[in-house]
């Protein structure tokens, strides 16, 4: 089945220790998104890519970076995680930019100790 | 500013009908989405409205009034598995999604 895959599902990292989250998709969609979602809050868009064209949201902290080496894969790097970065990180795709539904991966739950 | 308002929590009884309301303010408008999110899981797409009126899809229906900046999600014949958060998201003129914090729906037997 075509899908969005995120690894790992659960990640524990230490305060200040860099961590990378990964996402892959078999949907062949052009657009990929990274969201941060904290409990009972709206998903917050961190980055999105149209193909390899990178778009950084204005209020995404510099501590977060992203890479999309090819159509299928996207990575989220957190350079120096703080306690406030503990959250669910959701990867999503859409066929094109515009009014298309987004398909979400299962998410990575990040814990910072 | 851009904003989505929806109730934080609602409770309903199995077999009943519930309506979850959403009001939005966006710079331009390119449609409104509803997603379902079970606890600890990713959101899944339910519906998309861009024209005024009611869209029906099985037990779920979604309504939009563009002039009022208002939408609702109607769930009929509620089942226990419908216990989840329901996220409203409006798309602005730049095709950016403005997300609500979700309405947690609790279904009681």
CB atoms B30 and A97 under 8 Å: no
Residue A2 binned pLDDT confidence (cut-offs 50, 70, 90):
low
pLDDT tens digits, one per residue of B49-99: 999 999 999 999 999 999 999 999 999 999 999 999 999 999 999 888 999
Q: Tell me which residue of B36, B15, B35 sits closest to B80, measured CA to CA.
A: B15
| Residues of B with Cβ-Cβ distance to A95 under 8 angstroms | none
Compute CA distances B87 → A5, A8, A16, A108, B103, whole Å: 22, 25, 32, 19, 6
pLDDT tens digits, one per residue of A24-45: 999 999 999 999 999 989 999 9
pLDDT tens digits, one per residue of A44-88: 999 998 887 777 777 899 999 999 999 999 999 999 999 999 999
Q: Tell me which residue of A107, A77, A79 sits closest to A91, measured CA to CA.
A: A107
Report yes or no: A41 at the B interface, CB cutoff 8 Å: yes
| Residues of A with Cβ-Cβ distance to B95 under 8 angstroms | 97-99
- Which two three-digit tokens encode residue B3? 């904003």
């Amino acid at each position: 089945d075509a899908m969005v895959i995120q690894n790992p599902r659960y990640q524990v990292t230490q305060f200040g220790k860099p961590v990378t989250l990964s996402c892959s998709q078999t949907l062949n969609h052009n657009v990929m998104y990274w969201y941060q979602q904290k409990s009972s809050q709206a998903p917050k868009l961190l980055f999105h890519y149209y193909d390899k064209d990178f778009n950084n949201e204005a209020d995404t902290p510099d501590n977060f970076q992203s890479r999309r080496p090819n159509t299928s894969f996207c990575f989220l790097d957190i350079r120096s995680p703080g306690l406030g970065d503990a959250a669910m990180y959701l990867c999503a795709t859409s066929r094109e930019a515009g009014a298309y539904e987004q398909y979400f991966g299962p998410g990575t739950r990040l814990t910072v100790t | 500013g851009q904003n989505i308002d929806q109730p934080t929590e609602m409770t309903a009884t199995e077999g009943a009908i519930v309506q979850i309301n959403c009001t939005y303010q966006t710079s331009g408008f390119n449609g409104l989405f509803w997603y379902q999110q079970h606890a600890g899981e990713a959101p899944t797409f339910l519906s998309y409205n861009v024209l005024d009126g009611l869209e029906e899809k099985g037990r779920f229906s979604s309504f939009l009034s563009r002039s009022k900046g208002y939408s609702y999600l109607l769930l009929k014949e509620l089942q226990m598995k419908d216990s989840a958060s329901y996220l409203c998201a409006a798309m602005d003129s730049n095709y950016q999604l403005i997300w609500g914090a979700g309405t947690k729906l609790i279904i009681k037997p």
